[in-house]
């Protein structure tokens, strides 16, 4: 039983429990996601009636905003944002300002008044769901909108039945059918994720292969550079420059090959060249970032990037509004991989080509800053080979 005398073996249960605890923390964001101030646009284009002077659209907007839809934490689930027109709301959806939009059309009051006549025409609402922004959050936004419209339907139905009852009128067949559900809602998916996008999660799925390729590439570079054991500062500088230049070539190869592989596996990539170049930029940024850390602390830095991927992937699948304040402000906002995911969403779901947008700009700055850190490691003290001492004569 000499094996049990080893301190590492004896403390192994504690180590296992500690590892389970640390990695179980990654489960927390996905266990009970609750929306917090999910931004949804509301547009009232209702022109109202002149006789009697009434605007049902204004009443609906007021009722919706006064009704607080709380989540399981008791906080407001939706942040209603009044927008001036349907065109402006669509522009906000394309700019990823809102997860959904509710539009009340111009003839809403007119159609609502017709429900009291023998020739009723049900008022309509349009519900725009911004699928490409985030699959889970847009689904929650759609559910919230349906809940709001159902509440309006019930209230409107009760008011109309009361008005008809006060007049002592009889309902026609058409009126009865229309009053069963006075408002007809039309659901319109914008920036749709389509059927070949892993339910809108393809940008997150594409992160892992690219990230691991960057990590393995840098491990190989580090092992080779350590074997060379450069003592001269000029040699170390040249080695870092070669690593950068070769990394740029590898980035292009990785970007185009990965885009081709993804297309072959079934991922819809509407802009092949733009997607490939963006992935090349992302690869170079991550490659240089990992190289910069390795150049200062060595292979020990690998644990940092493995943990970043392990803890980051579940967060990147969720919208910021579905995370707790801690994970949103202190974890998600500091993840460098989110810029790759955000950029891919714009390319894959929003019909945008490669441009100097926010994700691309940040990735370029990550690459530039990491390059400076990598080159600065040239001036770090080197490990000189030990010299053999001569035996005394």
What tokens does 309 get? 């991927």
Q: pTM to 2 decimals?
A: 0.87
Mean pLDDT over 107-114 rounds to 92
pLDDT higher for 367 or 8?
A: 367
**Who has greater pLDDT, 173 or 133?**
133
Q: How many CA atoms lie within 13 A of 349 on its CB side?
A: 31
For 188-202, what is each residue's pLDDT tens digit? 999 999 888 888 899
Query: Is it the case that residue 382 has pLDDT exceeding 90?
Result: no
- Residue ranges of the domains in the chain? 30-190, 202-379
Q: State the alpha helices, DSSP H only, in the chain.
A: 7-10, 12-24, 28-31, 56-66, 86-94, 108-114, 135-167, 173-180, 202-205, 207-228, 233-265, 272-297, 302-316, 325-326, 337-349, 358-376
pLDDT by residue (tens digit) across 51-97?
778 899 999 998 888 876 655 555 788 999 999 999 999 999 999 99
DSSP symbol at 43: E
Q: What is the pLDDT of residue 18?
A: 87
Q: Residues with Cβ < 8 Å from 172, sequence gap 6 or more?
A: 118
What share of the chain in percent tops pLDDT 70?
94
Cβ–Cβ contacts within 10 Å for residue 314, how many?
A: 16
Residues 6+ apart with CB under 8 A from 112: 56, 123, 156, 182
Residue 12: its pLDDT value, please? 85
Range 30-190 has CATH code 3.30.230.70: no
On average, the pLDDT of the chain sits at: 88
pLDDT in tens, 336-354: 999 999 999 999 999 888 9
């Amino acid at each position: 039983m000499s094996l049990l005398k080893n301190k590492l073996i004896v403390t192994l249960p504690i180590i296992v429990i500690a590892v389970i605890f640390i990695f179980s923390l990654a489960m927390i964001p996905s266990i009970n996601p609750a929306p917090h101030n999910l931004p949804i646009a509301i547009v009232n284009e209702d022109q109202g009636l002149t006789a009697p002077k009434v605007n049902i659209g204004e009443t609906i907007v007021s009722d919706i905003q006064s009704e607080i839809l709380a989540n399981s934490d008791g906080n407001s689930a939706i942040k209603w944002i009044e927008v001036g027109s349907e065109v402006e709301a669509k522009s906000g959806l394309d700019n990823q300002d809102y997860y959904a939009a509710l539009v009340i059309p111009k003839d809403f009051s007119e159609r609502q008044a017709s429900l009291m006549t023998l020739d009723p025409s049900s008022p309509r609402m349009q519900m725009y769901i911004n699928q490409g922004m985030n699959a889970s959050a847009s689904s929650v936004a759609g559910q919230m909108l349906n809940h709001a419209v159902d509440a309006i339907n019930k209230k409107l139905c009760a008011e109309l039945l009361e008005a008809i009852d006060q007049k002592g009128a009889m309902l026609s067949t058409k009126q009865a059918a229309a009053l069963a559900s006075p408002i007809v809602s039309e659901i319109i998916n914008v920036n749709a994720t389509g059927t070949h996008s892993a339910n809108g999660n393809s940008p997150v799925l594409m992160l892992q292969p690219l990230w691991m390729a960057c990590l393995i590439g840098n491990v190989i570079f580090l092992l080779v550079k350590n074997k060379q054991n450069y003592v001269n500062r000029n040699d170390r500088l040249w080695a870092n420059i070669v690593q950068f230049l070769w990394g740029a070539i590898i980035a292009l190869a990785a970007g185009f090959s990965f885009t081709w592989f993804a297309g072959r596996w079934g991922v819809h990539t509407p802009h092949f060249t733009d997607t490939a170049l963006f992935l090349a930029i992302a690869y170079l940024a991550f490659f240089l970032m990992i190289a910069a850390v390795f150049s200062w602390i060595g292979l020990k830095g690998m644990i940092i990037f493995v943990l970043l991927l392990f803890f980051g992937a579940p967060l990147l699948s969720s919208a910021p509004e579905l995370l707790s304040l801690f994970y949103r402000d202190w974890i998600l906002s500091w993840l460098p991989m989110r810029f790759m995911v955000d950029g891919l969403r714009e390319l894959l779901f929003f019909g945008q080509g490669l441009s100097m947008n926010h994700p691309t700009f940040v990735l370029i700055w990550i690459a530039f800053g990491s390059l400076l850190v990598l080159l600065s490691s040239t001036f770090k003290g080197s490990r000189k080979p030990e010299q053999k001492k001569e035996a005394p004569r």
